[in-house]
Structures are given as structure tokens and as C-alpha cells.
Amino acid sequence: MQKIRSGTLAALFFGSIFIPALSLAAAPADSPIREAALNDTVAWDFIEGLTTEIGPRPAGTPQEARARDWAVTKLKSLGFSNVRAETYTMPVWLRGHEEARVISPYPQNLILAALGNSASTPEKGIEDEVAYFPTLADLEAAPEGSLKGKIAFVSHAMHATQDGSSYGYFGAARRQGPSIASKKGAIAILIRSIGTDSHRQPHTGVQMWTDGVKPIPAAALSVPDAEQLTRMISRGQPIRLHLTLSSKMLKDQPSGNVIAEIPGGDPKAGVVVAACHLDSWDQGTGAIDDGAGCGIVAAAALQASKAGPLRRTIRVLMAGAEEVGGNGGRAYYEAHGKEPHAMAMESDFGADRVWRVDFKLPQGHDALTRRLATVLEPLGIGASRLPAGGGSDIEPLIKAGVPVVDLQQDGTRYFDIHHTPDDTLDKVDLQQLRQNVAAWAVALFEIANAPESLGVK
């Protein structure tokens, strides 16, 4: 997942939003949608099928193409309309061989995974001294040129939070650390995994070289290996490390989005986009990131449609290439950005329960906010006063001012597994998954049938 910092956007497009006190006293009526969705089988079936029959789905690879074909067949068989893949091309980075070994003074191997867009070492690897930085700020403070011929190592230990907000802060070591280290002359960089587990599973993820920076080999050590290296460093002797990372860059490879619709009765009222991403990292099978999101939005759209006719079309967007920079979300916007959009929502934070709902609606939509809070409250979901921000698959829509509602999932254990080989089906909890489907189904039904304009003229 990639969270957008939303405060500034909200202020820009909608001014400050006041959410009135919610009347939780009104007992929520029995909801057939909620009850049916709490027994949903479609979401699990989708995730189980995608992770078993396709497995890992790296952006721009034949596996991602197979996932598109699989999803098109599946969504058609589930009864969606206008199901199709929309393709585009993009450059693709492919992982090769990766190996790290402490040469002296405590010879032993370390477990690591290259970060997206990492440069390769020469085939025989590189060997040099480690320069240690406890935090990203320490790396930033290092004088220009001071890392010449060194392998930078940034620890920057991440801690779990329920809302996942620590990913933004600690994730900077992965997103910006490699470019900063290269600017200061480092020949390679290792970071402590952006993860909250204590397993010997490194967390990969994308990083982009800033303009004019020379790409260097960049990798994440598993959390226990990062701690091991830190302990060695604390003993005071210089640490020499041998590092081999190989990778390939391919030009113009096909990637694409899959789109499926539940048609609404009033095309002028704008579409409601329910987004997830179909691609995954290469090492796990992409169950929580983001097979789960795709299962949730597809199942919820079907549950909402079973409850009665919809005013607005619900458009499921299964984006390609989210992990490597949001190419699918941008391609969707280029193809469809001019169509009226009433709402954009995204599920890309695993399969654990929804605990909070955030809104960013146009002025004058307080009644819709209250209705959504009322239908979500029986599922244990509280309305917040924080503005919704969406995610990278819908980021271009949000930037263009499309309203957004975030069903925030519990992220306490998400970063134990995120972007590791451990992202597999067994991590999905069926009851929590069904709570997600129920939350999405009641919200989609309410939004798709809302008489309000949602900013569509």
C-alpha cells in the first residue's frame, strides 16, 4: 500500500470539513446486505484462486498478464458487466541473485532482498567497509563525499501502529535512503527491513532514484539480520562486507488494469470506483497485498448489487503495477479521468478488520456522512474527523477532486508480513475478511444510491 498524505488535498479541494456529532443512539435497522456479506464466500474464493492458480504477480511480467486473464474470466463468471483488461507498457525491474556475507571480523552470511530499481553489483560482487547510521536523519547529516567507497547501512527501526501511519515515517529509509546514500558517495546501501516482525524474512519494496542520482545496489536486511549487524558494529571494529546483487531492467513490457462493472440506472450520476491492485511483489503470493483488496471489492460490489437496483455504476478497478509506482492508477486516469466520478475508494491494506472510516466529501454532504456512519457502526467501525486520503491506485482521481471514503483496516500485524515471502493465503483471517466485505457492501450500496450530487454536475 501507499498512503497519500491527505490533509493538504482536503484543504485544497473542499475547505475544512466539519463532521457533526454522529447520532449513534439511533438503533441501526437490521441490514440484509450486512448479514449476507458477513457470510460471503466470494472474497475468500477470489483470493484463494488468485494466489493458488497464479501466485506471485510482479508488475509487467507474464505472471501479471496471467493474473489479468484469470481475473477477467473470474469476474465474468461472477456476473460483472463490461469486464475487460486495459493494457499499457512500462519498464520492468527484475530481481536476480542476492547474497551478503560479513568478511570480518565475524564471518557469516546475512539474509537480504534487493529493493525495486536497485543497481547490480559486478558479477563477483563488491567488498567494502560498512558505514552505520541508526536513523535516516543520521544518513542525511553525513557530510557530502564522506561515504566514498563505503556500504551505507541505515537501521531506522520501524514500530507497529494500528493505523499504519509509521510506514510513512520509517518507510522513508527505503524510499529516500538509497538516493541520499548515492549522493554522498556510497557504493551500495543496506537498510533494515521496513517491517515489524522478528523473522528472517526481508521486506522488499520500491524505491525511485531522484533525478541525476547514480543508481547503486540497494537491499533490505531482514530485521534479525539488521539487528545482528548492529550488534557487530557496536563492538567497535570496522565491519567488512561482501555483497552480490544482480537484477535486470527491461523496456516496454506489457502491464494493465482489469475493469468490471455493476451498471447503475443513472449514467449522469457518475461512477463509484472500488479499487485494489492485481500485481504483487515477487516473493510471496500477494495474498494480503493485494489479493485481499481485490477479493473484498469484487465481493462487496456483488453483495451491494444483490440488495436492489443501483443509481450509480460500481466500477471495480483491479490496477496493474501499483507496487512499482502506481502505473495502473495513472493509466486508468488517462483513459477514464474525464468521465464523471462520484466517488473513489481503495482496499490495499491486507485483510484485517475495518475499524475506522474517514471521509472527504464536498461541502453539504453531512447527511451522507451520517448515513454511512450509521450503517458502518454495527460492524464496530467508528467515524473519524480525519480527512480520507485514498491510495495510489486512485491518487490521480483524488488529486482531480473526486470525493473519497477510506475504510481503514487494522494495520497492527500488516507490516509483519508486507512485501515478504510470507505474504501467503494462510495469513488471511476469514471472519475479518468477511467484516471487510460487509463494510464495503453497505458503504457501496449507500454511496451508489445516494441522492446527493457528490460533486457530479
- Contacting positions for Zn ion (CB under 5 A): 1, 289-290, 323, 348
**Distance in angstroms (rounded) separating the CA atoms of residues 373 and 407:** 11
Cα gap 221→232, rounded to integer Å: 14
203 or 365: CB nearest Zn ion = 203
- Rounded distance between C-alpha atoms, residue 201 and residue 171, angstroms: 17
CA distance 423 to 350: 10
| Least distance (Å) between residue 382 CB and Zn ion | 24
Task: For residue 261, indicate whether it is catalytic.
Answer: no
Q: How far is the CB of 217 from Zn ion (least distance, A)?
A: 22
Intra-chain end-to-end CA distance of the chain, in Å: 32
C-beta closer to Zn ion: residue 372 or 394: 394
Specify the residue, 394 or 454, whose C-beta has the smaller distance to Zn ion: 394
Q: Find the catalytic residue in 64, 322, 323, 395.
A: 322
C-alpha cell belonging to residue 286: 500477494
Region of 51 (left: φ > 0; alpha: ψ -120 to 50; beta: rest) is alpha
Q: Measured between alpha carbons, how far is 423 from 369 in angstroms, rounded to an integer? A: 34
**CA–CA separation, 394 and 159 (whole Å):** 27
Q: 290 vs 395, which CB is nearer to Zn ion?
A: 290
Q: Which is nearer to Zn ion, 225 or 282 (CB)?
A: 282
CA–centroid distance for 85 within its chain: 21
In the complex, the smallest distance separating the C-beta of residue 341 from Zn ion, rounded to whole angstroms, is 21
Q: What are phi and psi of 354, to 5 degrees?
A: -80, 130
Q: Which of 161, 195, 200, 193 is nearest to 177 (CA)?
A: 193
Quote the least distance from Cβ 319 to Zn ion, whole Å.
10
Give the shortest CB-195-to-Zn ion separation in angstroms.
12
Catalytic residues: 322
